[in-house]
Amino acid sequence: MKRWGNMARVFTRIGKQIAIAVKAGGPDPENNPHLRAVIANAKRENMPKDNVERAIKNAMGKDQKDYKEMVYEGYAPYGIAVLVETATDNTTRTVGNVRSIFNKFNGTLGTTGSLDFIFTRKSVFTITKTPDMSIEDLILDLIDYGVDEDYDEEDGELTIYAEFQSFNAVQKYLEEHGYEIKSSEFTRIPTDEKELSAEQRATIDKMIEKLEDDEDVQSVYTNMKPSEEE
């Protein structure tokens, strides 16, 4: 399960993603597929264009912080696996904050890679679904690019899932064939989900909320089974 916080936190997280993308591939979206993907996500989250352009400009500045992407893994109460993705300019601060939250909720912070058998990392693309689109043909064309046969349809959109390493190839195919990419990102999908009582779920939700409140945290994933309301 992946969760998002309020608008201010979302904008802060996207700003860091822009900084990382610009540092890796330059400030020109036309020549930087990663940056194009982040900008598309920013648009989807209603981040103003001025904010995006300012973030790109700031990313080229000499005073721009050097963000590192770090992943922290561990267990919350009731055996729930928790994976925390961060972007930080101070790993000592970040790991201290994350460990403190795990401890507060009687959880245990583990070693990197300890949850590899629980979460599968995937690329996920959401595109605009048009009346003349043949979803079956599109999926068939993309199977060789590592796209799963499973997909989601909702409100004029199509969401497809692909292997983690196929992100650039799928993005290039969709762009070259004229599909409108609404968002593209990486996600972590649990291989097995655990069902909890309402009281247990409330405890885990509080822990997730505390983690998401940290400015260095980008995403939080768990293997807690979603409630029927979600």
pLDDT of residue 1: 45
pLDDT of residue 3: 46
Q: Between the CA of residue 15 and those of 27, 67, 134, 135, 144, what are the distances in Å?
A: 13, 11, 35, 33, 33
Average of pLDDT values for 156-179?
Answer: 94
Q: Judge whether residue 5 has pLDDT over 60.
A: no
pLDDT tens, residue by residue, 108-144: 999 989 999 999 999 999 999 998 999 999 999 999 9
DSSP annotation of 142 reads H
Q: What percentage of the chain carries pLDDT values higher than 90?
A: 84
Q: Three-state SS for 225?
A: coil
Which fold does the domain 68-113+191-222 belong to in CATH? Alpha-Beta Plaits (3.30.70)
pLDDT of residue 229: 60
DSSP string, 60-113: TSTT----EEEEEEEE-GGG-EEEEEEEES-HHHHHHHHHHHHHHTT-EE--TT
Provide CATH 3.30.70.980 ranges for the chain.
68-113+191-222, 119-190
Provide CATH 1.10.10.200 ranges for the chain.
7-59
Average of pLDDT values for 194-220?
Answer: 95
Q: Judge whether residue 230 has pLDDT over 70.
A: no
Confidence of residue 62 (pLDDT cuts 50, 70, 90): confident
Confidence of residue 92 (pLDDT cuts 50, 70, 90): very high
pLDDT of residue 112: 87
pTM, two decimals, is: 0.88
CATH assignment, 119-190 = 3.30.70.980
Comparing 19-23, 63-67, 103-107, 207-211, the range with the smallest average pLDDT is 63-67
Architecture of the domain made up of 7-59:
Orthogonal Bundle (1.10)
Beta bridge partners of 109: 74
Q: Judge whether residue 8 has pLDDT over 90.
A: no
Confidence of residue 7 (pLDDT cuts 50, 70, 90): confident
Q: Which residue has the higher pLDDT, 7 or 162?
A: 162
